[in-house]
Structure 1
């Protein structure tokens, strides 16, 4: 199986592709990059994804001429058709079309394009894949087993239990969890201050079990692992530095794998589970959107499909006329 290229290799490829563009196209890419990073506040990963798609398009249209006037609807369609012919998945095609539409809209607003061909560019609709989630009883089993391990007082076990409880209680992303600092926790009101995608800050509540696990980790576990380089990080690795995302994912995978019948999930699976259980418990979509930090309600609506899917499964299994 072909090995996945490293992030450094991908960045090198992008720089090389950007450097090969004619001056006018390359200058437009540079300006678009500044717009995404400075004006829209997107993460480096997101900016790189946008740029990769746009550079791919511009490298294709450069075969017809060195200017942005070559970015027409037929050119966009030809480029996307070429991507499809290479076997690119529907989801990736949809993402690349969205990136290009963002670019052409920006180029039109800034006067680089006389007209915006992007709105007329369509891509094959991507298949919606329902995320795997834990049942409520499976989530409870994972937390109970983790609590039993933490009862021995080992600092790593205390950390792992607090990590699991907080991820499931709040539905925050693993990057948000690992980025938490001590002053981001409001213990009195049981709230986290979370910095999410696009540098958007939100407040997320957590319940009593997560509060108890977090308090035990901070009072009895964290001091044992802490070093001079720990800084204000809430969660620490075994050597005292801020916990990295890979280790957090391993903790979740190990805990969930120990639950009989549970799907193999990571932190994002706990996030899916938290959202699904909130909706099943009666929470409204807008509240769940705010808790999860979704920019649009459309993203949160995916979880309504999960709950409907469950209802249909229950109906099929239990109703005499199913």
Structure 2
């Protein structure tokens, strides 16, 4: 059967090839994480869908600064958060620059698009005693030698000890771990590797997991992954998120996500006397400004530093 004029037109103006090329650009040339690539492509896909309309026109031909601003303003009116709007602005600006350089747009119409400042709500931070209580509960549960409980204990200890992102944690392979030196190699944003130290409690939990827990779950698909799911494959980030939420409830401490453990680790490093540069290296931030926004200094530490350093304190 022959195709209709409508079907031919739909194929001619289908934006999927453009999105596929943009996806390859983000992943291969920009080196963005898979999570960021998915978010950017989804945002741009919704923009192109918004630009739909007349079947006889190329959606990109209607793309200009006024249209972009109107699209974002409409989403703001619908209650989109400032953080999401900021990300979508970054996504379409990146797309417009790429589309102009690759010949899809005559001009970089997004160059003058300004990004709204996201609300800087800091994630929940555990007090040192609360963090200790959470990890004690995880250790107590692992006392039954259930492989899943051993994994949960080791995962939480490593999250708090290193401040790594949840995506970095689940991506760790067994060879990345050096228990003797107490370091772990993780791959962060932009496929950048860094080596992060951890302490004796984390090593103890990891050794228990590797000796008594992981062998019980290991399967053909788990030759390298450090942390495994119940079926033997690499553990899913959602599983670890669920573990953190459940164990904070059992421990009776403030509920938080894995990112809250990352923030708690950074905060406790600072409170213990670490400098921002060290925290920057531990967290894997490319810019010190990101670390300054991400962490906060307690009034007690600020007063102590002032008293120690100022000649008229």
Superposition TM-score, scaled by structure 2 size? 0.80
Task: Note the C-alpha offset of 1:29.
Answer: 3.4
Q: Does the 8 Å contact 2:266/2:295 carry over to 1?
A: no
Q: For residues 27-58 of structure 1, what are the alpha-carbon distances to aligned partners after superposition, in whole Å with 9 as ceiling and x for unaligned? A: 54343222112212333432232122223333
Specify the SS of the correspondent of 1:119: coil
Match of 1:73 in 2: 65
Match of 1:212 in 2: 204
Counterparts of 1:225 and 1:61 in 2: how far apart (Å)? 49
Match of 1:162 in 2: 154
1:291 corresponds to 2:282: yes
Unaligned runs of 5+ in 1: 1-18, 313-322
Q: Does the 8 Å contact 1:90/1:126 carry over to 2?
A: yes
Match of 2:92 in 1: 100
Q: For residues 256-277 of structure 1, what are the alpha-carbon distances to aligned partners after superposition, in whole Å with 9 as ceiling and x for unaligned? A: 22334x2112322211211211
Relative to structure 2, which stretch is displaced further, 271-280 or 35-44? Answer: 35-44
Match of 1:58 in 2: 48
Q: Does the 8 Å contact 1:21/1:58 carry over to 2?
A: no
Superposition TM-score, scaled by structure 1 size? 0.78
1:40 corresponds to 2:30: yes
Counterparts of 2:58 and 2:216 in 1: how far apart (Å)? 61
Counterparts of 1:278 and 1:20 in 2: how far apart (Å)? 56
CA distance 1:228–1:143, shift in 2 (3 Å): same
Match of 1:4 in 2: none
1:263 corresponds to 2:254: yes
Unaligned runs of 5+ in 2: 1-8, 304-313
Say how many residue pairs are matched. Answer: 293
Q: Does the 8 Å contact 1:159/1:222 carry over to 2?
A: yes
1:273 corresponds to 2:273: no
CA distance 1:310–1:122, shift in 2 (3 Å): farther
Task: Note the C-alpha offset of 1:130.
Answer: 1.4
Counterparts of 1:93 and 1:58 in 2: how far apart (Å)? 16
Task: Note the C-alpha offset of 1:138.
Answer: 0.8
Match of 1:118 in 2: 110
Counterparts of 1:259 and 1:299 in 2: how far apart (Å)? 31
CA distance 1:163–1:116, shift in 2 (3 Å): same
Q: What CA RMSD, in Å, does the superposition of the two structures yield over aligned residues?
A: 3.0
Alignment equivalent of 1:301, drawn from 275, 278, 292: 292
Match of 1:5 in 2: none
Counterparts of 2:80 and 2:169 in 1: how far apart (Å)? 33
